[in-house]
Amino acid sequence: MEGVDHLAHERNKSEFDVDAMKIVWAGSPHAFDVSDRISKLVASDPGFRKDNRSTLSRKELFKNTLRKAAYAWKTIVDLRLSEEEAAKLRFYVDEPAFTDLHWGMFIPAIKGQGTEEQQQKWLPLAYKMQIIGCYAQTELGHGSNVQGLETTATFDSQTDEFIIHSPTLTSSKWWPGGLGKVATHAIAYARLIVGGREHGVHGFIVQLRSLEDHSPLLGITVGDIGMKFGNGAYNTMDNGVLQFDHVLDVYSIAFASIAVMLWVSQVTCEGKYKQSDVPRQLVYGTMVYVRQTIVADASCALSRAVCIATRYSAVRRQFGSQNGGPETQVIDYKTQQSRLFPLLASAYAFRFIGEWLKWLYADVTQRLQANDFSTLPEAHACTAGLKSLTTTATADGIEECRKLCGGHGYLCSSGLPELFAVYVPACTYEGDNTVLLLQVARFLMKTVSQLGSRLSSKKPVGTIAYMTRVEHLMQCRCGVQRGFAELSADLVEAAVAHCQLIVVSKFIEKLQQEIPGKGVKQQLEVLCNIYALFLLHKHQGDFLSTGCITPKHAALANDELRSLYSQVRPNAIALVDAFNYTDHYLGSILGCYDGNVYPKLYEAAWKDPLNESVVPDGYHLYIRPLLKQEIRTARL
Ligand SMILES: CCCCC/C=C\C/C=C\C/C=C\C/C=C\C/C=C\CC/C=C/C(=O)SCCNC(=O)CCNC(=O)[C@H](O)C(C)(C)COP(=O)(O)OP(=O)(O)OC[C@H]1O[C@@H](n2cnc3c(N)ncnc32)[C@H](O)[C@@H]1OP(=O)(O)O
Ligand SMILES: Cc1cc2nc3c(=O)[nH]c(=O)nc-3n(C[C@H](O)[C@H](O)[C@H](O)COP(=O)(O)OP(=O)(O)OC[C@H]3O[C@@H](n4cnc5c(N)ncnc54)[C@H](O)[C@@H]3O)c2cc1C
């Protein structure tokens, strides 16, 4: 029945202050207030309806996304929302769109790599959305290998202009979000050529379309690259293809520095290239920034899937009826708990590692401004490795949550197929996860000699096994005289182990903070132990081979895991309630707050366009002739 909370009995079992946990999850009382207010604003506005996406054609879907993006912008302006509130609104609108790249990459790139002059020229236009930008780095022929990009930017000292050109088919820009049909400007990455000499890949701000009629400018060929994985999902985004045919970057030499997108290098008025004495990798700064935001996004996406699967697991009953009594809730099966609760623990673990990574990124950015590059290698390794670890675990976790919901998990109305389809490219964009782990492996190889310092007694006991595992994996690989390439598959495993160590360590550090609320810290300690022991169980071969645990320890760890699952069980619904997601944002009948699943599933089915008529379109043309065939064929 509507209005009845079918999960009330579960909520009454909670052993901790859920409202206090909501603050922990949000990060602060202020952050909770903004999230709570904006999520309810979006959920209550029919202009942000999203339950019809899977029934729209690509063109209808895309036009609807443009409408929503424009409506969101109008809402932001009319309500005078702050930058923080506006970002939250775009998050809860929950639709990949060109605005993700405009706000998520184009603006950060100008802020992070532009000179004062460039920021003064471009940021006011971008903040008012009087220009719409995208981040055009990847090409048809190269994505991972940035140094392999082929687009050229040749400085013409005669005319004081840059000529941007796509010399080959494979140099066509390919994939940039928002590029296909919307962006008026791009930060395009190209090989800078000055005076016949090449100076590597740099970013350029290039106008693509007229601000009068949106037509592509002279020399610009631009379009969408076509349908992507899954229906609806990321097809709301116009990932594009772009070719430059000797495009003049219209900025004269007086503004040449405006075009060359970097405070780390300049083309002077005399047409000379001036490289600052900073690491050339700063040109990758935007990717590092986005990678750390993607870790926070992973905790959002995983928590969303876990919320759906946990609530449904408490609603679903299957087998186990005694004397005609109710069947067993599937959440009470140990197999369901052993699949679901480590994902619940991971969602919290990724939330806290995302908080730490945000601090690390802010710290390295502050140091860069003082020309202190000492922590840049570690920041690169951490953002690359944690982006890889959390997105792989989240993509796999969303799929596991679909399976935890049985057949109904495969319905679009469960919200899980679309969440999976939208999320999985996170394992590829912003750096292929394996390529990024190779960067971590390279960092570890360089620092393996310092790993010994890790085993200082001041480290929490819980992490010593994890530290020893990384050292063992590295020493096993580095000890043999074979090249990096030959050992790369093994070194990637060590890189994963290193990242898991970081997540466990930061979760433990989080628990050393003051955490208010009855029972809140105790619940987080249980989740931290589940995360750490689940990984120890999953990789027990590594841990046993280090000798720092014995088979008996491994068995005890498994017993402890089962006990921890029993401790989580009465708090599971409250722990996902703490994410404070509206039914609108979850977009899932299986995950609805009141647990009133079956009537909603049944009602939703009849809304499918296929049920607009009891006799399907096509019956008379195809089915009736089939059914009315000669009797003789029926006897075959
Ligand atoms: C409907 C339901 C809705 C559900 C919604 C739910 C969830 C949605 C979730 C997400 C969506 C929402 C928000 C997501 C937010 C943002 C994302 C949005 C969209 C994503 C758009 C994607 C954009 C892109 O993909 S941009 C392009 C990204 N491309 C890459 O990442 C390329 C990867 N390649 C590289 O980075 C480099 O090529 C390389 C691999 C690092 C190699 O570089 P190279 O120059 O060749 O260097 P090396 O020789 O390897 O190393 C030399 C030296 O440099 C050091 N180094 C390398 N990189 C860096 C760096 N970045 N910083 C510092 N130092 C670096 C390296 O270590 C080495 O050092 P050494 O010499 O000392 O060893
Ligand atoms: C949805 C989506 C949105 C995107 N948005 C943007 C955007 O806005 N802007 C933009 O510029 N780009 C964007 N991209 C492109 C994205 O950044 C690239 O696809 C990504 O960096 C991977 O590069 P690639 O496609 O060249 O993969 P490849 O490198 O070709 O990967 C193919 C395989 O080769 C392996 N491999 C590659 N190099 C090595 C190596 N050295 N050692 C071992 N294995 C290797 C990889 O692990 C992978 O298994 C987007 C991509 C997607 C899917």
What pLDDT, on the 0 to 100 scale, is given for residue 251?
45
Q: pLDDT digit string (tens) for 21-54?
A: 999 999 999 999 999 999 999 999 999 998 888 7
Task: Tell me which of 270, 430, 471, 603 is the catalytic residue.
Answer: 430
Ligand 1 site, residue 383, Cβ cutoff 6 A = no
Q: Which of 175, 201, 286 to mutate to test the pocket of ligand 2 (most atoms within 8 A of CB)?
A: 175
Active site residue 418: no
Ligand 1 site, residue 289, Cβ cutoff 6 A = no
Position 250 pLDDT exceeds 80: no
Alpha helices in 17-141 (DSSP H): 18-26, 29-43, 58-78, 83-93, 98-101, 107-113, 116-127
What pLDDT, on the 0 to 100 scale, is given for residue 455?
46
What pLDDT, on the 0 to 100 scale, is given for residue 633?
55
Position 115 pLDDT exceeds 90: no
Position 284 pLDDT exceeds 70: yes
Cα separation, 208 vs 36, whole angstroms: 38
Cα separation, 496 vs 548, whole angstroms: 19
What pLDDT, on the 0 to 100 scale, is given for residue 112?
85
Q: Helix, strand, coil shares of the chain as percentages rounded to 5? A: 60, 10, 30
Q: pLDDT digit string (tens) for 554-576?
A: 999 999 999 999 999 999 999 99
What pLDDT, on the 0 to 100 scale, is given for residue 636?
53
Q: Are 441 and 494 in contact (CB under 8 A)?
A: yes
The ligand 1 atom nearest the CA atom of 439: 67
User: Average pLDDT in the 342-351 region?
Assistant: 98
Q: pLDDT digit string (tens) for 236-246?
A: 999 999 999 99
What pLDDT, on the 0 to 100 scale, is given for residue 197?
92
Amino acid in the structure at residue 590? L
Ligand 2 site, residue 489, Cβ cutoff 6 A = no
Position 283 pLDDT exceeds 90: no
Ligand 1 site, residue 376, Cβ cutoff 6 A = yes
Q: pLDDT digit string (tens) for 382-428?
A: 999 999 999 999 999 999 999 999 999 999 999 999 999 999 999 99
Q: pLDDT digit string (tens) for 489-536?
A: 999 999 999 999 999 999 999 999 999 999 999 999 999 999 999 999
429 alpha carbon to ligand 2 midpoint, in Å? 6
Lowest-confidence region among 257-271, 468-482, 615-629? 257-271
- Ligand showing the shortest atom-to-Cα distance for residue 491: 2
pTM listed for this prediction:
0.95
Cα separation, 369 vs 391, whole angstroms: 30
What ipTM score was computed for the predicted complex, to two decimals? 0.96
